């Protein structure tokens, strides 16, 4: 079974939506095999979104991701990476399909409630940034 890395972002934790989002995740056939609530440091957020360092929204994105706690997760299932991207919906909630997490809950392209890895290599790196092997069960 494949694993992917997920974040329930500050806009979701602030509105008490972690249970509602986990319900969508589980009903989609993905299993939450690791989960913890953390306050990301500036350094963690900058490393995590390093690929976007040169983008105009980078500073704002780091400020948003560190402004309140997040829930970091490892999700497991068949084709978990693609499956979760499908369940999340488009980055901009205005373009997200009905029933997706971002259509249901996101506030804007930045405050879009969830993150999910985009490829096996990034999933592996992102999981290792937040979880030790023995925390994933
Ligand atoms: P994520 O990587 O969080 O799963 P994604 O892969 O759909 O989302 P990316 O293009 O990787 O989207 O952008 C990473 C995050 O940066 C987005 O989820 C969003 O929070 C923020 N972001 C992306 N584009 C913009 C933008 N134009 N303005 C503000 N924030 C943005
Ligand atoms: Mg991305």
- ipTM of the complex, rounded to two decimals: 0.93
Global pTM exceeds 0.80: yes
110 Cα to the center of ligand 1, angstroms: 6
Catalytic residue among 89, 96, 115, 127: 115
52 is catalytic: no
85 is in an annotated binding site: yes
Residue 13, helix vs strand vs coil: helix
Tens of each residue's pLDDT in the chain, 137 residues: 999 999 999 999 999 999 999 999 999 999 999 999 999 999 999 999 999 999 999 999 999 999 999 999 999 999 999 999 999 999 999 999 999 999 999 999 999 999 999 999 999 999 999 999 999 99
Within 10 Å of residue 41's Cβ, how many Cβ atoms? 11
A 10 A CB-CB count for 69 gives 17
Cα distances from 76 to residues 30, 34, 43, 97, in angstroms, run 6, 9, 27, 23
Pocket of ligand 1 (CB under 6 A): 52, 57, 61, 91, 109-110, 112, 115-116, 118
């Amino acid at each position: 079974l494949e694993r992917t890395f997920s974040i329930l972002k500050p806009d979701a934790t602030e509105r008490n939506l972690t249970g509602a989002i986990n319900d969508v995740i589980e009903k989609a056939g993905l299993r939450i095999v690791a989960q913890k609530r953390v306050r990301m440091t500036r350094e963690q957020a900058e490393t995590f979104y390093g690929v976007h360092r040169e983008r105009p929204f980078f500073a704002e994105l780091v400020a948003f991701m560190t402004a309140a706690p997040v829930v970091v997760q490892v999700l497991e299932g068949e084709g978990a990476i693609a499956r979760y991207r499908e369940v999340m919906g488009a980055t901009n909630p205005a373009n997200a399909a009905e029933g997706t997490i971002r259509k249901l809950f996101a506030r804007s392209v930045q405050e879009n409630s969830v993150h999910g890895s985009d490829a096996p290599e990034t999933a592996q790196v992102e999981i290792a940034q937040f979880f030790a092997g023995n925390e994933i069960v």
